[in-house]
Chain A
Amino acid sequence: MTPGLAARLAGQKHIVTPRRETPFHPRLKELSETNDWYTWAGCKAPHSIFDTELEYFCIRSQGALFDISPMMKYRITGPDAERYLNRLTLRDVRKLAVGRVQYTAWCDDHGHVLDDGTLFRLDADDFRLCCQERHLPWLLDSAIGFSVTVEEETEVIAGLALQGPTSFSILQTAGFAGVDALKPFQLACFPHEDAEVTISRTGFTGDLGYELFVPAGKALSLWDRLWAAGRLHGLKAIGYDALNRVRIEAGFIVANADFVTAEGALRTDRGRMPDEIGLDWLVDTEKPFFNGRDAILRARERRTLKHILVGLEIEGNIPAEHAIVYHRGKREVGLVTAAIWSPLAKRNIAIASLERPFGERIADDLWVEIYAMRELQYRKLMKRAKIVSRPFVRLDRRTVTPPGRF
C-alpha cells in the first residue's frame, strides 16, 4: 500500500463504519438482550435493551438510563451569544437565567420550524443548544454580524438521560451532593473524577428525571457510577421504543415524526409554523426581532395558518398510529402522527395533525380509521376520537422540589 493510499483510507474511517458507536456503547452492548438497534443521527442506538414493555415500566416506576449522546449539541459562546440566540429562537433568551434551561424552537425566514430543542444557559455568555437535526450551516450563517463562536460538540460530549421516580435517589446515592436543590429546568455542575458533569432537571418523559452531560472520555466511568448507585433503585437501561411511549403520554413532539422540519421537507407545503405544531406558546411577540417573526405574525393576522396539532383520545384500545382522521366519518381532515395505548392513563391516546378549521373551530364528530392486521387480514375500525388537552399524563413528582426519596 502506498503511503498516500494509507492516509486516504485513514481519513475515510467514517465510511468504513457508517454507523458510529456512542461513548456508552460498550455498556449498552453488554446489557442488550434483544440486540435490536437502529440508526440515530449516524449512531447505533437501541430500539430496546431487554423488553420494551418492561422498559416502559422502568421509566414510570423505577429508574431508567437512556443514552442521548447522538443528540446534536452545539456550544454558543461570546459577548453576543444572548443577542444571537434571541434572534435565532422563538423565546426571549434574555429571560433565561444562568443555570436554567429553556425548551424552544427556531424557524427559517418563512416562519417554518427548523427544529425544536433545549437551550442550556451555562454562563452569561455560554450556551448549549440540543436538538434532533443537524444545523451547523444554519447556526454559522446566523452568526454573521454577531460576535459569537458556534461549535458542534455532539461527538465530544456524551449525554445520558436518567429518568423515573428513583432517579433523584440514584443521583444522591451516586454522591452528587446538592442535586436535591435542582428545580425543573435548572442545571448545575458537579465534579466527576477530574472533570465536571452538567446535570439538568430535564427530560423527555414528563416524569421526574435528569439529563447528564460529560466529556466523552468520562462517559463510561459516569455510567458505572450511576449503575452502581442504581443497583438497589431498580435502574435499567432502556431503548427508544419505551421512551417514545412515555413522550407521547407527556405530549412531547418529535421533529420529523410529528412534523417535517423546514430543511428536511421536500414538498413545498410540508413546512409547519410553530402555531401549526402546538408551539404557538413559544413565540414571544414582545421580544426583539427573531427569524420567522414577520411570517408568523402575518399568518396569525391574515388567518392563513393551515394546520393544528391536537391530542386525541380514541375509543377502544388499538393504537391508531398513522391513521387518517375524518370528520363525520367521511371527510379527511388529518393524520395521526403518534399513538399508543397508555398503560398509565389507561386510555388510547394519540397526537394528530389536523387541517384547520378542524381541530380549531370544528372539534366534534371526529373519527379515526384504524387498520388492524389480524392474521393476514385487515380489520378496518372506525373509532370515535375526542380532542383532549396535552399532556395526557401529569405527574406531580416531575415538579416537586426536593424530589421524593426511595
Chain B
Amino acid sequence: MTSFDVIIIGGGHNGLTAATLLGKSGRKVLLLEAAGNVGGALHGYEFHPSFRAGGLAHIVNRLDPDVAKLIGLQAELPEILPTVALSETGMPAVLRGAYGERTDGVTAAEAVRFSELREKLLFQAAILKRFLKRRPPEIGAVTAGDMAAFASAGWNMIRRGREEGRDFLRMLLMNVADVADEYLTDDRLKGLLAFDATLGIHLGPRSPTSLLGLHYRLTGEAGGAAGAQFMPRGGVSALAAAFERAAVSAGVTIRTGTSVTRILADRGEATGIALASGEEISAPVVVSAIHPQMTFLTLVDAAELSTGFVRAVKNIRSKGNVARLDLALERVPEFSGVLPEDHRGRLVIARSIDHVENAFNPAKYGEFSEDPVMEITVPSLADPSLAPAGAATLSALVQFAPYQLGEGWEAGKPRFQKVVLDVLERHAPGIGKFVLGSSLMTPADIEACYHMPGGHWHHGELQTDQLLVNRPVNAACRYSTSLKGLYLASAGSHPGGGISGLPGFLAAQSILAGERR
C-alpha cells in the first residue's frame, strides 16, 4: 500500500493549491474530494438540459499572483472587465479598468470625486493587504518578522503624511454608507460601493465596519491591477481545470467521490482519516480544506478537542445571505442602456445605498428581500460551451436571502425566484420571454451542494471579530490546530473567502516552515 506524507480533505481551489505547493515540495500528497469532481465553488453544474453553470463563483477578482503562477496561469494577461451599475430609470454608470480607473456615464465632477475615493480606498487596502499574505501573528509570541510587517505597514501608512494615516484609522471601522456619502453624490456609484462592501457578508451598508468588506474586495488584484476583475479564458470551469492540472502535475494523487467521515486522532495527535467505505488511511499530516465547523464538529471526535475550543468553533457565525440564480436563455440578454460588449462584465443592480440597506433589513428577521440587490454575469459569453449555439446563460448572485428563512425555503423559494425575475425584467425588459429554464440555489441549497455549512462562501462571516488572529478561531488562526498534525486550509482560515487560493497557499507554507524548524 502506498503511504502518503499528507492527506488533504476537500478538493476546492484551496485544497488544490495546498496540494500543489506541498506536492511540488516533494511531499507525497493524497487529496480526497467528496464530490465527483474537484474544483469546489469553481466546479460547474447542469441546471437545465444543455445549459451549464460555470461554478458558484462567476467572476474572478482576487486570485493571488503567486497562486496563479503556481498553477501556471501567469502567461496570459487577463482582460480586465467593466462593472456596470444599472439604473432603472436612466443610463448606467460604468467602471472601466481596475475598479473604475475610468468611469463612464457620470458627471465630470463625480468622476473626479470617485477617483479620489478610489485612490484612498486602494491605498488603505494596500496596507491591509500586507497582512493578508502572512500567517497571523501568535499573540504572546510575536516574532521579529511580525514586528517588521507592522513597522513597514505603519511606515507606509504615514509615508503620505500624517493626514493619510489618521484617515486610515478613522475609516477602518466605518460603515460604507457614510464614506460613500462623504465623497459621492451619484446614487448609482454609492449603491455599487454599498453592494460590493456587503456582498456575502451579513451587514447592511449602514452597519458599523461594513467598509471593511469593500477594503477586502479591493485587496484583490488581477494582472497586477488592484481591484480588477476578469473572466478566465473558457470561464471559471477552465480555472478549476487549471487548478486540477497543476495538482496532478505536482504528483498529487486525487480521489474524487471519496467522502471522509472521520479524522483519526489519538491523545491530541492526528494520525490519518477514515472514509465512508470504512477504509482508513494514515499520514503524519492531515490538511482540512473544508469548513472549520465541518472539520471539528463532524470529522474530529469531540473527545480529542478541548471544550473551550469546541465552544469557539460552534460560535463561528456562518449563515449565508446570497442566493444564486441561473437562467437558461434563448438568446443573449440585453440590459437597458448597456453596451453589447459590456455584457461580458459584471452588472450590478443596487440603485442606491437605501436600496441595499432595505434589502438587508428583512434578512435580520429571517425574511428575504422583496426588492433584492444582485450582481449579474453572462457566463456563456466567456465560455460558449455552457449553452447551445445562439443561446445564453445568466448567472446572478442575489442578496439578501437568509440561510434560515422564517417561512422555510420550500415555501419561500418559488416566491423569491419570482421576485428576482421581476427585478431582472425591470432592467432587461422582455427577458422573461426568453427564459427556457432556471435554477435558484438558496444558501440552504449551496450548503447541500457544496458542503458549505450555512451556504457561506467565506466559510464564516468575514467581519472584524472573525478576522486575522480570530479566523476561524484564535486557537487555530495559524493553520495548525490543537490536534498535532492537523492543519486548516479553507476559506474559513485567514485571510478568508473568494477565489484567491491564499488560505491553501499559506497553510501549505506553514506546514513546510514547521518541518524546517
Chain A residues proximal to chain B, CB less than 8 Å: 83-84, 86-88, 108-109, 138, 141-142, 144-146, 288-289, 291-294
B307-A145 in contact (CB<8A): no
A83-B307 in contact (CB<8A): no
A289-B267 in contact (CB<8A): yes
B301-A145 in contact (CB<8A): yes
Q: Are A289 and B297 also in contact (CB < 8 A) when A108-B308, A141-B310, A294-B482 are?
A: no
B464 within 8 A of A: no
Which residues of the other chain, B, contact A144 by a CB distance below 8 angstroms?
297, 302, 310-311, 314
Which residues of the other chain, A, contact B311 by a CB distance below 8 angstroms?
141, 144
Quick one: which of B267, B301, B307 contacts A138, CB cutoff 8 A?
B307
Quick one: which of A83, A138, A292 contacts B303, CB cutoff 8 A?
A83
B306 within 8 A of A: yes
A289-B303 in contact (CB<8A): yes
CA distance A87 to B265 in the complex (A): 14
Which residues of the other chain, A, contact B306 by a CB distance below 8 angstroms?
108-109, 291-294
Quick one: which of B265, B302, B475 contacts A145, CB cutoff 8 A?
B302
Which residues of the other chain, A, contact B266 by a CB distance below 8 angstroms?
288-289
Q: How far is the CB of A145 from chain B (nearest CB, A)?
A: 3
Q: B475: nearest residue on chain A (CB-CB)?
A: A109
B309 within 8 A of A: yes
The digit string for B228-255, where 1 denotes a CB below 8 A from any CB of A, is 0000000000000000000000000000
CA distance A71 to B409 in the complex (A): 48
The digit string for B272-302, where 1 denotes a CB below 8 A from any CB of A, is 0000000000000000000000000100011
Quick one: which of B267, B307, B314, B475 contacts A291, CB cutoff 8 A?
B307
Q: How far is the CB of A81 from chain B (nearest CB, A)?
A: 12
Which residues of the other chain, A, contact B110 by a CB distance below 8 angstroms?
none
A108-B307 in contact (CB<8A): yes
B268 within 8 A of A: yes
CA distance A142 to B305 in the complex (A): 10
B268-A293 in contact (CB<8A): yes
B304 within 8 A of A: yes
B310-A145 in contact (CB<8A): yes
8 contacts between A and B (CB under 8 A): A141-B310, A145-B302, A145-B303, A145-B310, A289-B305, A291-B306, A291-B307, A293-B268
A87-B302 in contact (CB<8A): yes
CA distance A88 to B305 in the complex (A): 10
Which residues of the other chain, B, contact A87 by a CB distance below 8 angstroms?
302-303, 307
A289-B304 in contact (CB<8A): yes
Q: How far is the CB of A279 from chain B (nearest CB, A)?
A: 18
CA distance A294 to B484 in the complex (A): 10
Quick one: which of B301, B304, B307 contacts A142, CB cutoff 8 A?
B307
Quick one: which of B301, B307, B309 contacts A88, CB cutoff 8 A?
B307
CA distance A142 to B307 in the complex (A): 5
Q: How far is the CB of B299 from chain A (nearest CB, A)?
A: 11
Q: Are A288 and B302 also in contact (CB < 8 A) when A109-B307, A142-B307 are?
A: no
A146-B302 in contact (CB<8A): yes
B464-517 CB contacts (< 8 Å) to partner A? 475, 482
The digit string for B297-339, where 1 denotes a CB below 8 A from any CB of A, is 1000111111111110010000000000000000000000000
Which residues of the other chain, A, contact B302 by a CB distance below 8 angstroms?
87, 144-146
Which residues of the other chain, A, contact B267 by a CB distance below 8 angstroms?
288-289, 293
A141-B307 in contact (CB<8A): yes
Which 9 pairs, one residue from A and one from B, show the smallest C-beta to C-beta distance?
A145-B302, A109-B308, A142-B307, A109-B306, A87-B303, A291-B306, A141-B311, A289-B304, A289-B268
Chain B CB count within 10 A is highest, among A144, A292, A294, for A144
Which residues of the other chain, B, contact A294 by a CB distance below 8 angstroms?
268, 306, 482
Which residues of the other chain, A, contact B307 by a CB distance below 8 angstroms?
87-88, 108-109, 138, 141-142, 291
Chain B CB count within 10 A is highest, among A145, A288, A293, for A145
CA distance A291 to B306 in the complex (A): 5
Which residues of the other chain, B, contact A109 by a CB distance below 8 angstroms?
306-309, 475, 482
CA distance A288 to B304 in the complex (A): 8
Which residues of the other chain, B, contact A146 by a CB distance below 8 angstroms?
302-303
Which residues of the other chain, A, contact B308 by a CB distance below 8 angstroms?
108-109, 291
Q: How far is the CB of B251 from chain A (nearest CB, A)?
A: 34
Q: How far is the CB of A87 from chain B (nearest CB, A)?
A: 5
Which residues of the other chain, B, contact A84 by a CB distance below 8 angstroms?
303
Which residues of the other chain, B, contact A291 by a CB distance below 8 angstroms?
306-308
Q: How far is the CB of B482 from chain A (nearest CB, A)?
A: 6
Which residues of the other chain, A, contact B301 by a CB distance below 8 angstroms?
145
A145-B268 in contact (CB<8A): no
Q: B315: nearest residue on chain A (CB-CB)?
A: A141
CA distance A141 to B312 in the complex (A): 10
Which residues of the other chain, A, contact B268 by a CB distance below 8 angstroms?
289, 293-294
CA distance A87 to B475 in the complex (A): 18
Q: How far is the CB of B266 from chain A (nearest CB, A)?
A: 7
CA distance A44 to B223 in the complex (A): 74
A145-B297 in contact (CB<8A): yes
CA distance A292 to B307 in the complex (A): 9
Which residues of the other chain, A, contact B304 by a CB distance below 8 angstroms?
288-289
CA distance A116 to B271 in the complex (A): 32
Q: How far is the CB of B470 from chain A (nearest CB, A)?
A: 15
Q: Are A86 and B303 also in contact (CB < 8 A) when A144-B314, A294-B482 are?
A: yes
Given contacts A108-B306, A294-B306, 7 further A-B contacts (CB under 8 A): A88-B307, A109-B309, A109-B475, A141-B314, A145-B303, A146-B303, A293-B267
Q: B298: nearest residue on chain A (CB-CB)?
A: A145
CA distance A108 to B475 in the complex (A): 13
Q: How far is the CB of B314 from chain A (nearest CB, A)?
A: 6
The digit string for B176-212, where 1 denotes a CB below 8 A from any CB of A, is 0000000000000000000000000000000000000
Q: A106: nearest residue on chain B (CB-CB)?
A: B307
CA distance A138 to B310 in the complex (A): 11
CA distance A289 to B303 in the complex (A): 7
CA distance A86 to B304 in the complex (A): 11
CA distance A289 to B311 in the complex (A): 17
Which residues of the other chain, B, contact A293 by a CB distance below 8 angstroms?
267-268, 306
Which residues of the other chain, B, contact A88 by a CB distance below 8 angstroms?
307
Q: B308: nearest residue on chain A (CB-CB)?
A: A109
Q: How far is the CB of B165 from chain A (nearest CB, A)?
A: 32
CA distance A268 to B39 in the complex (A): 45
Chain A CB count within 10 A is highest, among B267, B306, B309, for B306
CA distance A141 to B314 in the complex (A): 10
